[in-house]
Amino acid sequence: MSEPTGVDGVSPDATRADESAVAEHSLSRRGFVRMLGWGGAGATVALGGRAAVDAIAEQSAPSPEELARAAAFAFETATIESGHQPGIATPQQAHASFIAFDLDASLTASRIKALLQILTDDSARLMTGTAPIADQEPEMAGDPAGLTVTMGYGPGLVDRVNPAAKPSWLKPLPGYKIDKLEDRWSGGDFLLQICADDPITLAHARRVLLKDARAFTTVRWVQDGFLGARGARVTGTTMRNLFGQLDGTVNPRTSEDLGQVVWIGSDSGESAWLHGGSSLVIRRISMDLERWDEVDRPGREASIGRRLDSGAPLTGTNEHDAPDFEARTPQGFHVIGPAAHIRRARGDGAERILRRPYNYDTALSGAAGSGAQVNDSGLIFAAYQANPEKQFAPMQARLAEADLLNTWTTPIGSAVFAIPGLGELGEIPGKALFE
């Protein structure tokens, strides 16, 4: 039986973020044929470009229902790119849970390794749509829905396992004057970033992994976040955050960019366990929607330096137009002001990061009165970069110094994790750390 070719041409990823060079969810060919149910023996189902249309017309009766079935994404598995953990270059899934653990004081290096091996095994199974051995609801594992599990090692873990191999940047960020950090959202010895396009898949995977870890750890914090639903919007739509801003316009996109910005290279001078890895900074940023409501549109647009409707820089017309930081008004003022967020974030352009943030939003019970705060809302700001001291910290320092958005945003949590490289699926990330 011939396998279908060119399946990528109708990948449901056509409706994902426009990070073209970033690894795409792969539509399993076997799964595709299974779900589609019409590429029978001998048939070649060519589904790319014009060929797709012809093939559809030539096939016997694929109904709209069959096409819809083919687009169901619960059975999709994320692409695992050799050398790197998934969940970093992977296009952002709609739902995420970030969980930080403290390791039990008694845990030796060898038992930490055993814990990581269990989590690795179960994660590999879950990501490939296979039930872990001890899974009590194996039917729920059959819908990976693009699931990725990404592991981060905090300072406490590396100190216990192999302190000599600890990168110099693996420590809390310096304090910034804008910070109002709370312990309950900060730090941690170990991190799981679990992402999927389906909230039921995410709930199941999270439970399996939490049960694996509970004999060895205490859950330090949990942060759950969301983006727009998978498939809701067209290709290339940048998501809006809860301020209504398009969020994520500037991100490294090409493989070359990712190599420069995100991945720790073998020539980096870092220990071998980090090669192919990265670092993850997670900042919980509370957004004061009540006071943001008091700001008019010109004020909002000036604070970010972009238009609210299109996301275009104030000096441009389209979202991806390069901002003109030199442009001035007839009165001689900068069009993109000195404290506009995009100017402060960019600096001289030397520091870049991969933003992979999620929104959080909780309606508050007990709220009463016309001035009451009705939501606890904000951004789980997750940033990947090869070196947080050289890339994230200078940018954050500039923003802390002056950024109009600081008026309505407050960092209330902060954590830094090393993201080890990955040999192959099923190996402990950063295996060399344990050797």
Which residues between 85 and 104 bind its own copies (CB under 8 A)? 94-95, 97, 99, 104
* CB 382, min distance to its own copies, A: 17
Residue 375 engages its own copies in binding (rule: CB under 8 A)? yes
Residues 236-275 that bind its own copies (CB under 8 A): 239-240, 242-244
Nearest alpha-carbon partner for 146 in 192, 100, 99, 202? 202
Q: Quick one: which of 199, 394, 423, 426 contacts its own copies (CB under 8 A)?
A: 199
Q: Quick one: which of 63, 106, 168, 331 contacts its own copies (CB under 8 A)?
A: 63
Closer Cβ to its own copies, 120 or 217, answer by number: 217
Nearest alpha-carbon partner for 358 in 157, 193, 215? 193
Instruction: Tell me the window of 152-160, 201-209, 273-281, 427-435 that interacts with its own copies (CB under 8 A).
Output: 201-209
Residue 114 engages its own copies in binding (rule: CB under 8 A)? no
* CB 73, min distance to its own copies, A: 5
Residue 83 engages its own copies in binding (rule: CB under 8 A)? no
Residue 369 engages its own copies in binding (rule: CB under 8 A)? yes
Q: Quick one: which of 18, 29, 43, 48 contacts its own copies (CB under 8 A)?
A: 48
Instruction: Tell me the window of 19-27, 118-126, 218-226, 335-343 that interacts with its own copies (CB under 8 A).
Output: 218-226
Amino acid identity at 14: A
Instruction: Tell me the window of 43-51, 149-157, 405-413, 416-424 that interacts with its own copies (CB under 8 A).
Output: 43-51
Residue 247 is a catalytic residue: yes
CB 13 within 8 A of CB 91: yes
Q: Quick one: which of 43, 72, 124, 272 contacts its own copies (CB under 8 A)?
A: 72
Q: Rounded to whole angstroms, how far apart are CA atoms 115 and 407?
A: 43
Q: Rounded to whole angstroms, how far apart are CA atoms 249 and 341?
A: 13
CB 165 within 8 A of CB 114: no
Q: Quick one: which of 1, 180, 366, 435 contacts its own copies (CB under 8 A)?
A: 366
Q: Which residue among the candidates 122, 197, 247, 403 is catalytic per the annotation?
A: 247
Within 10 A of 282 (CB to CB), how many other CB atoms are there?
Answer: 25
Q: Rounded to whole angstroms, how far apart are CA atoms 322 and 312?
A: 9
Residues 283-312 that bind its own copies (CB under 8 A): 289, 292-293, 308-309
Residue 22 engages its own copies in binding (rule: CB under 8 A)? no
State the DSSP H helix or E strand holding residue 362, giving kind and residue range, or none if neither. strand 358-363
State the DSSP H helix or E strand holding residue 345, giving kind and residue range, or none if neither. helix 341-346
Gyration radius of the chain's alpha carbons: 23
Provide the token pair at 213: 């870890």
Residue 49 engages its own copies in binding (rule: CB under 8 A)? yes
Residue 210 engages its own copies in binding (rule: CB under 8 A)? yes
Instruction: Tell me the window of 47-55, 84-92, 249-257, 313-321 that interacts with its own copies (CB under 8 A).
Output: 47-55
Instruction: Tell me the window of 117-125, 313-321, 370-378, 392-400 that interacts with its own copies (CB under 8 A).
Output: 370-378
Residue 121 engages its own copies in binding (rule: CB under 8 A)? no
Residue 222 engages its own copies in binding (rule: CB under 8 A)? yes
User: What are the start-end ranges of the E strands in 181-237?
Assistant: 190-196, 217-226
Residue 15 engages its own copies in binding (rule: CB under 8 A)? yes
* CB 368, min distance to its own copies, A: 4
Q: Rounded to whole angstroms, how far apart are CA atoms 119 and 210?
A: 9
| # of chain residues touching its own copies (CB under 8 A) | 94
State the DSSP H helix or E strand holding residue 280, giving kind and residue range, or none if neither. strand 278-287
Q: Quick one: which of 226, 325, 327, 337 contacts its own copies (CB under 8 A)?
A: 226
CB-based contacts of 388: which residues, under 8 Å, 6+ apart? 169, 173, 279, 281, 416
Residue 109 engages its own copies in binding (rule: CB under 8 A)? no
Name the one residue in this structure whose structure tokens are 């192919």. 276
CB-based contacts of 128: which residues, under 8 Å, 6+ apart? 77, 144, 425
Q: Quick one: which of 218, 254, 266, 318 contacts its own copies (CB under 8 A)?
A: 218
* CB 232, min distance to its own copies, A: 4
Listing DSSP states for 105-169 in one string gives: TT--HHHHHHHHHHHHHHHHHHHTT---TT-S-GGGGG--TT-EEEEEE-HHHHHHH-GGG--TT
Residue 116 engages its own copies in binding (rule: CB under 8 A)? no
CB-based contacts of 86: which residues, under 8 Å, 6+ apart? 23, 78, 79, 80, 127, 148, 149, 150
Q: Rounded to whole angstroms, how far apart are CA atoms 54 and 62?
A: 12
CB 303 within 8 A of CB 295: yes
x/- map, 128-167, its own copies, by CB under 8 A: --------xx-xx--x-x----------------------
Q: Quick one: which of 150, 186, 217, 387 contacts its own copies (CB under 8 A)?
A: 217
Q: Which residues are catalytic?
A: 247
